[in-house]
Structure 1
């Protein structure tokens, strides 16, 4: 796979285009967006051609990166797979379990490579932590607290597709940010949530933009336990104060505790009793936008290299598949249902 196309020309498409420009022996052939002006802007900066017709773009490429709005993922992905094109689909996989299941089954029946855009798997700090867990450096893991906090709901005043109802809540903080954390928990522990242990809190604090109703959440918190007995606290936010923004992980093991936050991005901490040690995080290659955290840009590059290498028959372990995307979609839907049940129970008992 050498010739790549992108469908969708927003901010994530730009991150992919920047990353592609640093990878040898691949070419950004072109971009398709429903707004031709946006695709023209992107190719003006990173090369390739603006394609008004998605089908024409597919004829000229080996692989497609799907960065369109969530409610377009199914259509764009299936079209590419039917043309036997390799696909990297941005998260979340779809806007429903039914859509995700159709995409998964189609990928299983196709010889083209279909992978999920779970780029946080490729953060250096995540793979450091995973190595510590696998090597038993932390001992038996008791709990993980993982959070991703931004302030975009406060900063962005314009009403967009992310705020409307078309994506069925998947464009809110839980579906947009939390889906990464859902996948990371699986990646680290290979264990599903025990549904009966899960409690969910979901809020919409910014209720209107440009006098239009906001249909998605901007804060979510999940408590639960995995089947391997690890306790989980997952927090996502788009309404955090600037000093709280970033990505953080704390893992408590019988032997040691692991702590990392992008507020102090170059080090992570291991604690055993009263003894603490700090360790260095490797430097990044690419510049991170001011509103993103350390390693964010590099994670796209690492993800694309993995996808390209896998498509070119080079061995690779743990690339995120459409089965992973479907699993995460199921868990996301379970979280939404749990929150709905909690609200109903409060109503009944009040």
Structure 2
């Protein structure tokens, strides 16, 4: 039985990720698309033989839609997801899931009330090198993890977003936060997943130095400390103008792990005994040309609906990753290290 899917928001993430990946899944029928810009909705509707809407509330009234992707500016993630869950639809929401802990709670509660799936689109967990490293750390092969540095940066959303330099990404009232919400929250989610550890303290510096048209951060550096005592840095930037950097390095007792850091090998493990193991595990998805095209997010979402399983990144997981970014904002505001509640 095929699931009937709607995509709300037909900008770049829908165009390059959600719509083609739904179309490639044999268990899915794209039934409806929605965008406040009518031409965008029409274009997607023609391409995927779906019905076009400009008002998402009209779309949610359709009984035959099983699930929706929410691909909208950040400030709309929570209200539209809650409306969709209340309308009895499963929801895959882009990251960051919300602009506050309260909004995240509203989404989680709506999912619980409706009995529908809520998944947040943190695609980094599905990258082969990242899954391999999680296994290596869990197996004890790395020993105690001492430190890490994780980075996600590129030249900025103007090269990617449907509206270029006029994009909502640069507007605080729509985006809420800049590079930290666009890219940093991905790495916050990833490092939690890799270390299977939660963070208890966060310090941050953010700056708007590269984008004259922005009133949100375009460079952010966070210092994190985990429950197990691991410390490390997380950098998010829209100012890596020459080349995207999506790398993570983990420093452990028995090995150093270099993920997505070597152009030829997606994972290089340097053991303290002098041995080096190089893994070719396929490229990470990228906004650069020639990047991996499938994120596996859509397939996982569909599987969780069909098999009635909890998505890998459900609302609770999404909220924990968001909490790190919210803590960073508090740190910037107060110029203090922010302590996350246990």
Partner of 1:223: 223
Partner of 2:340: none
1:265 and 1:294 in contact (8 A); partners too: no
Partner of 2:25: 23
Greater alpha carbon shift after TM alignment, 261-270 vs 21-30? 261-270
Alignment counterpart, residue 136 of structure 1, candidates 129, 133, 140: 140
Deviations 1:15-40 (A, max 9, x none): 11111121112111121011111111
Partner of 2:233: 233
2:149 and 2:250 in contact (8 A); partners too: yes
The CA distance in 2 between the partners of 1:112 and 1:239, in whole Å, is 39
The residue matched to 2:247 in structure 1 has which SS?
strand
Structure 2 unaligned residues grouped into runs of 5+: 338-342
Give the alignment of 1:167-186 within 5 angstroms. 167=174, 169-170=176-177, 172-186=178-192
Give the alignment of 1:187-206 within 5 angstroms. 187-195=193-201, 198-206=202-210
2:246 and 2:261 in contact (8 A); partners too: yes
Partner of 2:288: 291
The CA distance in 1 between the partners of 2:155 and 2:47, in whole Å, is 28
2:204 and 2:332 in contact (8 A); partners too: yes
Deviations 1:146-181 (A, max 9, x none): 1011011675862221111213633x0011101111
1:29 and 1:48 in contact (8 A); partners too: yes
1:123 and 1:298 in contact (8 A); partners too: no
Partner of 1:310: 304
1:262 and 1:293 in contact (8 A); partners too: no
The CA distance in 2 between the partners of 1:155 and 1:75, in whole Å, is 28
Give 4+ residue runs of structure 1 displaced > 4 Å after superposition: 153-157, 287-290
The CA distance in 2 between the partners of 1:114 and 1:291, in whole Å, is 29
Deviations 1:87-127 (A, max 9, x none): 00111111222211211222222211111111111111110
Change (3 A) 1:270 1:215: same
Deviations 1:267-288 (A, max 9, x none): 421112362424333346xx96
Post-superposition offset of 1:256: 1.0
1:95 and 1:167 in contact (8 A); partners too: no
TM-score (norm 1): 0.87
Alignment counterpart, residue 159 of structure 1, candidates 166, 169, 172: 166
Post-superposition offset of 1:291: 2.6
Deviations 1:269-316 (A, max 9, x none): 1112362424333346xx966537844x321xx111111111112556
Give the alignment of 1:44-59 within 5 angstroms. 44-58=46-60, 59=62
The CA distance in 2 between the partners of 1:326 and 1:114, in whole Å, is 12
Change (3 A) 1:49 1:248: same
Structure 1 unaligned residues grouped into runs of 5+: 345-350
Partner of 1:348: none
1:66 and 1:77 in contact (8 A); partners too: yes
The CA distance in 2 between the partners of 1:283 and 1:109, in whole Å, is 40
1:124 and 1:281 in contact (8 A); partners too: no
The CA distance in 1 between the partners of 2:274 and 2:46, in whole Å, is 53
1:113 and 1:311 in contact (8 A); partners too: yes
Partner of 1:336: 329
Partner of 1:347: none
The CA distance in 2 between the partners of 1:55 and 1:76, in whole Å, is 9
The CA distance in 2 between the partners of 1:31 and 1:262, in whole Å, is 37
The CA distance in 2 between the partners of 1:328 and 1:56, in whole Å, is 32
* In the alignment, structure 1 residue 257 sits paired with structure 2 residue 256: yes
The CA distance in 2 between the partners of 1:265 and 1:315, in whole Å, is 36
Greater alpha carbon shift after TM alignment, 148-157 vs 18-27? 148-157
- When the two chains are superposed, the root-mean-square deviation of aligned CA atoms in Å is 2.4
